[in-house]
């Protein structure tokens, strides 16, 4: 999948999610983008909405969050706290691009898509909570940019539907395994779903991670994830609703290094040994042999190193005749062997 200058076939594409971790300060937002670049991110991702594009300001029971990090808040309050002001976007997009980072966002309304188009984003990211809103998927796909879709709350039918909608518009698509719990317990990550997504939908796959720590992204890459998204924060002391499941710069750097090491370890399917063959056994002369003398179990043996003939030929060679004088320690070659000198 091509995202700006990056192709996920070449290396895992690592996204630092800014989300609400700017803590209401554009300076902190820019410092976070800079730190993401310094610690190995390929991209920075924003979230684009106004609270009224997401919900209504209601204190009725349906609108109150029950349990978890945001227990007791209503949806409007949470989104007002977490939003990245629209007025910041142009400056943040330009700042990220000057750092040679890919930059894009999650739109949470049709208005947000239109707004983001002004900045020529590298891609669009659809948050898992927006997947059931097919109108948004279709509207976004019509912009003809790559689309990355998190599958956290989606049913299999919904995933099938949004893939069909996106492919109808002939855009590149990636599906991210995601568990929409904040933070996600390790037992609920279900990373075996990653290769299943690839097999079922034949699209690029990745992982949007809300677990604590960096183990899950490493396992995800080993299972085929080519995109990793992780929340990123300058300091856990910042006032952010997402800080508990975000990585600090040091943690993010460790994750990036581990992912790059994992890529090296995975390598490619290759059954050709590159090193160490010299330590295998092969056929060598272990006693001087005169021209015309027969090969016997006493004068040739399978020993180390591995530069001579394969040991499997030993039974065929016993009883044949040397074409020339051979010294102890000579590797045995086919040109040294004949059936008879007659």
pLDDT of amino acid 119: 98
Where residue 224 falls among pLDDT bands split at 50, 70, 90? very high
Three-state secondary structure string covering 271-286: CCCCCCHHHCCEEEEC
Q: Which pLDDT band, with edges at 50, 70 and 90, does 340 fall under? A: confident
Residue 342 has pLDDT above 80, yes or no: no
pLDDT class for 128, splitting at 50, 70, 90? very high
Give residue 275's pLDDT: 85
- Report d(CA 238, CA 21) in Å as an integer: 7
Token digits for 261?
Answer: 């090491």
Q: Which residues contact 162 (CB under 8 A, 6 or more apart)?
A: 126, 131, 134, 137, 149, 154
Q: In the predicted model, is pLDDT for residue 188 greater than 90?
A: yes
Query: What is the DSSP secondary-structure string of 78-108?
Result: HHHHHPPPGGGHHHHHHHHHHTT-EEEEEE-
Rounded to a whole number of angstroms, the distance between the first and last alpha carbons of the chain is: 68
Q: Average pLDDT, whole number, for the chain?
A: 95
pLDDT at 70: 84
Give the start-end residues of each E strand in 18-76: 43-48
Residue 274 in this model has a pLDDT that exceeds 80: no
H or E element, residue 193: helix 193-201
Does the structure show a pLDDT above 80 at 17?
Answer: yes
pLDDT at 307: 95
The residue assigned the tokens 């330009």 is 94
Q: Is the pLDDT of residue 115 over 90?
A: yes
CATH node for 277-338: 3.90.1210.10
Q: Please report, for the chain, the start and end positions of each structural domain, with discontinuous segments joined by +.
A: 7-266, 277-338
Give yes or no for a contact between 117 and 100, defined as CB atoms under 8 angstroms apart. Answer: no
- Complete DSSP assignment for 31-42: HHHHHHHHTT-S
Least Cα distance to 205 among 219, 194, 193 occurs for 194
User: Does residue 256 surpass a pLDDT of 80?
Assistant: yes
Distance of CA 164 to the CA centre of its chain: 24
| pTM score | 0.89
Q: Which helix (H) or strand (E) holds 197?
A: helix 193-201
Per the CB < 8 A criterion, the answer to whether 241 and 27 are in contact is no
What sign results for the dihedral spanned by CA atoms 198, 201, 205, 210?
Answer: negative
pLDDT in tens, 140-152: 999 999 999 999 9
Name residue 282's beta-bridge partners.
303
pLDDT confidence of residue 175: 98
CATH class (in words) of the domain with range 7-266: alpha beta
Give pLDDT, residue 209.
Answer: 96
**pLDDT tens-place string over residues 312-332:** 999 999 999 999 999 999 999
- Distances 26 to 21, 107, 124 between C-alpha atoms, Å: 10, 19, 22
Tokens of 311: 């040991």
């Amino acid at each position: 999948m091509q995202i700006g200058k990056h192709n996920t076939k070449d290396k895992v594409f690592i996204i630092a999610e800014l989300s609400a971790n700017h803590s209401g300060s554009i300076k902190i937002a820019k410092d976070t983008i800079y730190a993401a670049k310094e610690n190995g991110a390929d991209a920075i991702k924003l979230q684009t909405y106004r609270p009224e594009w997401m919900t209504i300001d209601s204190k009725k029971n349906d609108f109150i969050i029950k349990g978890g990090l945001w227990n007791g808040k209503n949806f409007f309050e949470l989104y007002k706290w977490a939003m990245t002001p629209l007025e910041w976007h142009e400056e943040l997009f330009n700042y990220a691009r000057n750092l040679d980072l890919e930059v894009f966002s999650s739109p949470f309304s049709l208005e947000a898509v239109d707004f983001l188009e002004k900045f020529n984003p590298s891609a669009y990211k659809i948050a898992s909570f927006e997947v059931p809103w097919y109108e948004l998927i279709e509207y976004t796909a019509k912009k003809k940019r790559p689309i990355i879709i998190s599958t956290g709350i989606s049913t299999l039918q919904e995933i099938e539907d949004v893939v069909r909608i996106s492919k109808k518009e002939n855009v590149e698509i990636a599906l991210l395994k995601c568990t929409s719990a904040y933070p996600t317990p390790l037992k609920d990550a279900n990373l075996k779903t990653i290769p299943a997504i690839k097999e079922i939908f034949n699209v690029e796959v990745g992982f949007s991670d809300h677990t604590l720590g960096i183990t899950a992204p490493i396992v995800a890459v080993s299972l085929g994830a080519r995109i990793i998204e992780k929340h990123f924060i300058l300091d856990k002391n910042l006032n952010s609703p997402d800080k508990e499941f975000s990585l600090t710069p040091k943690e993010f750097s460790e994750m990036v290094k581990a992912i790059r090491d994992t890529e090296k370890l995975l390598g490619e399917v290759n059954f050709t040994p590159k090193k160490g063959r010299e330590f295998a056994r092969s056929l060598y002369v272990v006693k001087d042999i005169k021209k015309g003398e027969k090969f016997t179990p006493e004068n040739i043996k399978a020993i180390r190193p591995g530069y001579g003939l394969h040991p499997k030929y030993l039974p065929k060679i016993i009883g044949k005749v040397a074409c020339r004088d051979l010294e102890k320690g000579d590797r045995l070659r086919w040109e040294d062997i004949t059936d008879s000198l007659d």
